[in-house]
A = this chain, B = another copy of it.
Amino acid sequence: MTIQAQPRTDRRSFWAWGLFERDQPTEEQRTQHAKELSERLGQPVELPRLPRVDDLELRDPRVKVPGALASFCTTDAYERAYHSYGADRGKAIFREFPNPPDVVAHPTTEAELEAVMEWASDAGYATIPYGGGSSVVEGVTPPEGWPGIVTIDMDRFDRVLEIDETSRAARIQAGVFGPALEDQLRPHGYTLRHFPQSFTGSTLGGWIATRSGGHYATNHTHIDDFVESTRMLTPRGWWESRRLPGSGAGPSPDRMVIGSEGILGIISEAWMRIQVRPKFRATAGVTFPSWESSYEGTRKIVQAKLWPANLRLLDPDLARDGAGMDGTRALLIVGFESAEVPQAPFIRAAVNLAREAGGEIADEEIVVDNGDGKPTGRQGAVGAWRDTFIPKTTGLAAGLGMVSGTFETAITWDRWPEFDRTVRAEVQAALDEVCGGGTLNCRFTHVYPDGPAPYYTYAGMYRPGRSEQRQAAIKHAASEAILKAGGTITHHHAVGRQHRPWYDRQRPDLFADALRAAKLAVDPNGVLNPGVLIDP
Contact = CB atoms under 8 A, between A and B. Distances in A.
B340 A167 contact: no
Interface string A498-536: 010001001110110111111111100000000001000
Contact of A450 (B245, B256, B503): B245
A305 B276 CA distance: 11
A353 to B, nearest CB: 7
B410 A246 contact: yes
Q: What is the oligomeric copy number?
A: 2
Interface stretch (A84-92, A198-206, A258-266): A258-266
Contacts of A341: 304, 306, 349, 353
Interface string A460-498: 000000000000000000000000001111111111000
B249 A499 contact: yes
A503 B249 contact: yes
A6 B481 CA distance: 40
A335 B302 CA distance: 20
Interface string A226-268: 0010000010111111111111111111011111110010000
Nearest to A222: B248
Interface stretch (A57-65, A211-219, A378-386): A211-219
Interface string A257-295: 111110010000000010010000000000000000000
Interface in A294-349: 299-300, 303-307, 338-342, 345-346, 349
Contact of A412 (B245, B413, B513): B245
A451 interface: yes
A173 interface: no
Interface in A178-230: 210-213, 219, 221-222, 228
Contacts of A247: 211, 410, 488, 490-491
A10 interface: no
A81 interface: no
Contact of A243 (B167, B345, B412, B449): B412
Nearest to A243: B412
Given A219-B219, A514-B518, A521-B514, A506 B249 contact: yes
14 contacts: A167-B414, A167-B449, A169-B412, A228-B412, A241-B508, A245-B411, A246-B448, A250-B515, A253-B507, A273-B450, A276-B303, A341-B349, A342-B349, A510-B522
Nearest to A356: B340
A103 interface: no
A359 interface: no
Nearest to A412: B167
A166 interface: yes
A156 interface: no
A11 interface: no
Contacts of A240: 508
Contacts of A211: 247-248
A498 to B, nearest CB: 12
A125 B499 CA distance: 40
A511 B256 contact: yes
Interface string A113-125: 0000000000000
Contact of A510 (B236, B246, B412): B236
A446 interface: yes
- Give the top 4 A-B pairs by smallest Cβ distance, nearest first: A245-B451, A345-B345, A245-B448, A514-B518
A164 interface: yes
A245 B305 contact: no
Contacts of A452: 245
A453 interface: yes
A262 to B, nearest CB: 11
Contact of A169 (B253, B255, B450, B508): B450
